[in-house]
A = this chain, B = another copy of it.
Amino acid sequence: MSARVLIVDDLFPNVKLLETKLALEYFDVVAAMNGPDALAICEKGLCDIVLLDVMMPGMDGFEVCRRIKNNPLTTHLPVVIVTALDQPSDRLKGLDAGADDFLTKPIDDTALFSRVRSLVRLKAMTDELRSRAIASRDIGLGDPLAAAAAEGGLGGKVLIVESRRSAAERMAASLGAHHTVTIEPDPQRALLLAPEGGYDVVLVSLDIEGGDGLRLCSQIRSLQRTRSVAIIMIAEDHDRDRVVRGLEFGVHDYLMRPVDRNELVARVRTQLRRKRYAEALRGAVQASMELAVTDGLTGLHNRRYLDTHLGALFTDAAARQRPLAALILDIDRFKAINDTFGHEAGDEVLRAFADRLRLHTRGIDVVARYGGEEVVIVLPEADLADAQSIAERIRERVEEAPFMLRDEGRTIAVTVSIGVAALMPDDTVPGDILKRADLALYRAKHSGRNRVELQAA
């Protein structure tokens, strides 16, 4: 992936050296000589990945990293700390600040470039999702970015695939405080287990007995059901070529043996955050789309949903010669409720009415607010007699217990009139059923309300 790499270093020769190398690899390079400039470039969306020096005057690299990762506008940017610091405590400090990797100078160029490519590719896959989530925010449907960025990376389900029992148990002990951990020593069984277990992160020992650890990684990555699982390779120092290979085909991260327990904890947390970030964005886009078919007041489906699904159910029932019925429900004297108790009380009655309907309908029924105080219920596989008994039950359940107004602590007696109709052989459009139900409702209203009336024979 071609990408814009931001180099952050206060020493000009360092910037130049790295810039030249990256340009030869066909990356675009942007540079910043201090933390605040770097943060501004990130916020403006002018880079895809950050290579970050630690020791800078003013704001140091750890702080820059922390700010990038805690800002909803920039948290999706991968950060690789590139530094002369070589103490495990420095390394841990970087990873704890949220860095995706920590490389010590002198840098192995192959390792650096393969890392940058892998991180940029992984980012590219959620970029589209992030754009949709931003669009959802701009429309005014909440701020999914802020919620997604707040993820702490704890409480995940981790699978350790490792045949060496003691190594597996050490890792499990380190991770056990924060996550639910399962150990699987056999790679074949691990491949079966991975899609079943709902794991967030899978750690795979590359030198596992009984199979090829790297192939297991590639299989987990290819399987539809495990595609979004984060994978971390555990490798020996002599296995660096296979690590690079794994990064190329989409493995998310790796740890070299002997595994440092703090580093293990930090890397698992980073992967969990990244995975949940994508899930949160996905959920936000999904929720936005579902709002389009949801009535804001009652949470029932809306008329848009009814129109689409009644059409589909009608076509299906007609083609398969199966029964289909519909009810139109209208709360009796609803205007009087609004006039007497106010609009807010009216809204509360509507919400409580919707709750009772949910209790007395099946999962396959479509329950949609049709307008004002009218609700339509479409009943697949129900004939006129079935629909009549369902309507009668709903009518009774509404009548038998008055509706409680929470704020005022008072109750309102509510009744409902219901028109019932079922699919008939001559029906040509879905609206035909609704028209007959509407006429039946009209008769229910005019014969005294709180009644169920059926379509004319």
Contacts and interface: CB of A to CB of B under 8 A. Distances in A.
A372 interface: yes
Contact of A28 (B46, B135, B222, B285): B222
Interface in A72-128: 121, 124-128
Number of copies of chain A assembled together: 2
Nearest to A121: B121
A341 interface: no
Given A215-B26, A289-B288, A222 B3 contact: yes
Contacts of A26: 214-215, 218, 245, 249
A215 B26 CA distance: 6
Contacts of A67: none
A364 to B, nearest CB: 14
Contact of A125 (B4, B125, B249, B303): B125
A141 B249 contact: no
A219 interface: yes
Contact of A293 (B45, B46, B140): B140
Interface residues of A, number: 55
Nearest to A347: B371
Contact of A289 (B1, B3, B4, B135): B135
A289 B125 contact: no
A331 to B, nearest CB: 14
A224 interface: yes
A430 interface: no
Interface string A264-290: 000000000000000000100110111
Contacts of A195: none
Contacts of A290: 139, 292
A305 interface: yes
Contacts of A292: 139, 141, 288-292, 294
A27 interface: yes
Interface in A121-159: 121, 124-129, 132, 135-136, 139-141
A443 interface: no
Interface in A313-340: none
Main secondary structure of the interface of A (DSSP, over half): helix
A2 B216 CA distance: 11
A318 to B, nearest CB: 18
Which 8 A-B residue pairings sit nearest by Cβ, starting from the closest?
A291-B292, A140-B308, A2-B221, A2-B218, A26-B218, A292-B292, A2-B249, A28-B222
Contact of A128 (B129, B289, B308): B129
A213 B224 CA distance: 37
A211 interface: no
A304 interface: yes
A44 to B, nearest CB: 10
Contacts of A218: 2, 26-28
Given A4-B222, A140-B305, A285-B285, 18 more contacts: A1-B250, A2-B218, A2-B222, A2-B250, A26-B215, A48-B222, A124-B125, A125-B127, A132-B132, A132-B289, A139-B293, A140-B309, A140-B312, A141-B292, A141-B308, A288-B288, A291-B292, A291-B304
A205 interface: no
A218 B296 CA distance: 47
Nearest to A47: B222
Interface in A218-260: 218-219, 221-224, 245, 249-250
A140 B243 CA distance: 44
A450 interface: no
A253 B48 CA distance: 23
A250 B218 CA distance: 21
A415 interface: no
A27 B223 CA distance: 11
A235 to B, nearest CB: 15
A302 interface: yes
B245 A289 contact: no
A289 B293 contact: no
A382 to B, nearest CB: 20
A128 B278 CA distance: 10
A302 B136 CA distance: 15
Contacts of A139: 289-290, 292-293, 305
